[in-house]
Chain A
Amino acid sequence: MKFIVSIKMVPDVYAPFQIKDGELLMDGDRTVLNAYDASAVEEALVLTEKHGGDVEVVCIGSAKASETIRKALAMGAAKGYHIQTNGDETYDSSSYAQILASFLSDKEYDILSFGKQSQDTDSGLTGGMVAQLLNLPYATNAVGLEIEDNKLVVKRQGDSGQEMIELPTPCLVTCSNDMNEPRIPNLKGIMASKRKPVESLSVSDLGVDATALEAVSKVTSYEPVPARAAGKKFEGEPEEIAREVAQLLDTEANVL
């Protein structure tokens, strides 16, 4: 099975940030491989180790995204594609989906794997968009993957239970981080990643119509989320404080 995993570089959510006049100021140096995409890479590696095949990754992003690609290569992916942007384009999910669909249109693959959402925006749109643009059967929010007779069997987390879905290849799947614990690259993997091929492309190489990439969804400003007012903390004799809080839930908070 040949996997192509679509990976995104995201700002580290633990990095300090500031919001000034509606603008978000973050340390642009602190970026990570989107956690959901790391799970997608991990699962593709596990499945190809078991059934044969190989794993390639594609990332749209600025020059710095090459670190994100190296991370996936160090985990064990065989090849990377870096679709370079300046990093200041105002793309939305649909723009990224169109670039990816156009890149993938002449590639060979059995399974396209995405993160179920991006850790910074939680949009969760790109995978489904690419599936539709490439007319592929797909499943989202996968918490488990198996390969059976050249088919991909997806365990998907639905609203009230898990759905077992069988997809013929080629197909597309979006992965939850509940699927696995991504491996941490070891030294050997890191050394090997430096010799692995990374093909660099530009958006114009792909012949995507620039006007079609114009974002229709635009972030106009940012605001801090108002902090909850600090509450009361109870320390002391367990039985006493347990009773006290139960009473307050009744008489003060009115929630019993």
Chain B
Amino acid sequence: MSTLLTYVAISDGKIKRSSLEVLSHCKSIADAGGMACEAVIIDENATSYTDDVQKYGASKIYTVEGDAFKQHQNGSLLKALTKVNEVAQPSLIAFASTEGTKDVLGALAAQLKAGVVADVSSFNFDGTKVTAQRPMMAAKIMGNVNVTGNPVLVSVRSGSYDLKENPATAEVVSVDVTVESGDLRATLREIISATGDTIDLNEAEAIVAAGRGVKDEEAKALISELASVLNAGIGASRALTESGVYDPSLQIGQTGKVVSPQLYIAVGISGAIQHTAGMANSKVIVAINKDADAPIFEIADYGIVGDLYKILPTFIEEIKKIKN
């Protein structure tokens, strides 16, 4: 029987929701095709997450634990995934397309001599072949891709699938992986974290995104206030991460993150294709821009033509009223 193995990523002590989306989808494929749905967790406290993971239907969960997996390091993750692949012998390994995944996917494919397709927006598997759709050309075109291999590796954009609980009692299999100093030729010196307790943009229900129109502290304060009223995450265009106004981890778009919240409010963003590539799948898009011809209005459900300094104070007040 073929096995679909989902890599469940842990970040900052939490399961990445996008990996549970992938696991939910793998469970549906497995059920439809009479295949096994399994998961792997690699983290210093991997076992503590198995209860949450089995809710999504994994019949077997491999855990790899140890100090080496406290922080993301490609050398240790590669070693662990290689070992788990040997033990589990999956036909397919599915990943959420996080930065952690992107860091190892190519190397893992070369190591396992596997077929691979990255960053898909949907996929299916018939036991030997993956058929997938992936956006290309800054998300202007959708490509249909076929991939074979043993195994096939697939990484999936966040928000591509809904979470679907499917409680199962999983067999937990601990896999021993020791990472020796020789395995890690790269040294992780330190992690410079984004300031404050920022909301994970991939999991945010609402995002307020700032662009070059957000010019000063006054405008930044309006963005923060709007985000807090909506309990939204703050995102930014490249214009503002590049100039250091916002942390680079908040960049949305082709280089940055791909997001699909229920509500996306673009403030002072022109709507370059490299930006919209990362947010065009949001459910409701609001754009605030003083240029009536800005391309962002072509994809906005609600376009407000005006100066953000004049629009935002009233907009925020009105939302506060509605929320109360």
Residues on A close to B: CB < 8 A? 11, 13, 17, 19, 22, 24, 36, 93-94, 97, 116, 119-133, 137-141, 143, 153, 155-168, 171, 176-178, 216-225, 227-228, 230-235, 238-239, 241-243, 245-250, 253, 255-256
Find the residue from A119, A128, A248 having the highest chain B CB count within 10 A: A128
Given contacts A138-B107, A140-B102, A238-B307, contact A225 B139 (CB under 8 A): yes
B238 contacts A178, C-beta separation under 8 Å: yes
Give the contacts of B91-123 with A (CB-CB under 8 A): 98-100, 102-111, 115-119
Asked if B228 lies at the interface with its beta carbon under 8 angstroms from chain A, I say no
Residues on A with beta carbons closer than 8 Å to the beta carbon of B105: 124-125, 128
Asked if B179 lies at the interface with its beta carbon under 8 angstroms from chain A, I say no
Asked if B254 lies at the interface with its beta carbon under 8 angstroms from chain A, I say yes
Interface class of chain B by DSSP: mixed
Q: Which 3 A-B pairs have the closest CB atoms?
A: A128-B106, A137-B185, A246-B318
Asked if B125 lies at the interface with its beta carbon under 8 angstroms from chain A, I say no
Residues on B with beta carbons closer than 8 Å to the beta carbon of A171: 185-186
Given contacts A17-B141, A137-B75, A157-B99, contact A243 B190 (CB under 8 A): no
Given contacts A125-B116, A161-B194, A166-B187, contact A178 B137 (CB under 8 A): no
Residues on A with beta carbons closer than 8 Å to the beta carbon of B110: 94, 97, 128-130, 132-133
Residues on A with beta carbons closer than 8 Å to the beta carbon of B16: 159
B106 contacts A241, C-beta separation under 8 Å: no
Q: How far is the CA of A135 from the CA of B78 in the complex (A)?
A: 12
Residues on A with beta carbons closer than 8 Å to the beta carbon of B255: 36, 176-178
Given contacts A218-B145, A234-B304, A247-B322, contact A131 B107 (CB under 8 A): yes
Q: How far is the CA of A106 from the CA of B259 in the complex (A)?
A: 43
Given contacts A141-B99, A159-B99, contact A249 B263 (CB under 8 A): yes
Question: Which residue in B133, B140, B186, B285 is a CB contact (below 8 Å) of A167?
Answer: B186
Q: How far is the CA of A44 from the CA of B104 in the complex (A)?
A: 23
A242 contacts B304, C-beta separation under 8 Å: yes
B310 contacts A238, C-beta separation under 8 Å: yes
Residues on B with beta carbons closer than 8 Å to the beta carbon of A177: 255
Q: Shortest beta-carbon distance, B283 to chain A, in Å? A: 7
A255 contacts B143, C-beta separation under 8 Å: no
**Of all chain A residues, which has the CB nearest B241?**
A178
A159 contacts B137, C-beta separation under 8 Å: no
Q: Shortest beta-carbon distance, A52 to chain B, in Å? A: 24
Residues on B with beta carbons closer than 8 Å to the beta carbon of A138: 74, 107, 186
Asked if B47 lies at the interface with its beta carbon under 8 angstroms from chain A, I say no
Residues on A with beta carbons closer than 8 Å to the beta carbon of B12: 160
**Of all chain A residues, which has the CB nearest B75?**
A137
Given contacts A219-B145, A220-B144, contact A125 B118 (CB under 8 A): yes
A233 contacts B107, C-beta separation under 8 Å: no
Give the contacts of B170-214 with A (CB-CB under 8 A): 185-194, 198, 200, 206
A19 contacts B141, C-beta separation under 8 Å: yes
Asked if B72 lies at the interface with its beta carbon under 8 angstroms from chain A, I say yes
Q: Shortest beta-carbon distance, A158 to chain B, in Å? A: 5
B144 contacts A157, C-beta separation under 8 Å: no
A216 contacts B149, C-beta separation under 8 Å: yes
- B127-166 near A? 1/0 per residue, CB < 8 Å: 0000001111111111111111100000000000000000
Question: Which residue in A13, A143, A165 is a CB contact (below 8 Å) of B273?
Answer: A13
Q: Shortest beta-carbon distance, A228 to chain B, in Å? A: 5
Q: Shortest beta-carbon distance, B322 to chain A, in Å? A: 5
B145 contacts A141, C-beta separation under 8 Å: no
A228 contacts B303, C-beta separation under 8 Å: no
Asked if B292 lies at the interface with its beta carbon under 8 angstroms from chain A, I say yes
Question: Which residue in A120, A155, A227, A231 is a CB contact (below 8 Å) of B137?
Answer: A120
Asked if B126 lies at the interface with its beta carbon under 8 angstroms from chain A, I say no
Q: Shortest beta-carbon distance, A82 to chain B, in Å? A: 23
Q: Shortest beta-carbon distance, A22 to chain B, in Å? A: 8
A217 contacts B147, C-beta separation under 8 Å: yes
Provide a sorted-by-A list of 5 A–B residue pairs whose CB atoms are within 8 angstroms. A139-B74, A167-B187, A231-B302, A241-B305, A245-B286
Q: Shortest beta-carbon distance, B191 to chain A, in Å? A: 5
Q: Shortest beta-carbon distance, A31 to chain B, in Å? A: 13
Asked if B251 lies at the interface with its beta carbon under 8 angstroms from chain A, I say yes
B192 contacts A165, C-beta separation under 8 Å: no
Partner-contacting stretch, out of B24-32, B34-42, B52-60, B293-301: B293-301
Q: Shortest beta-carbon distance, B83 to chain A, in Å? A: 16
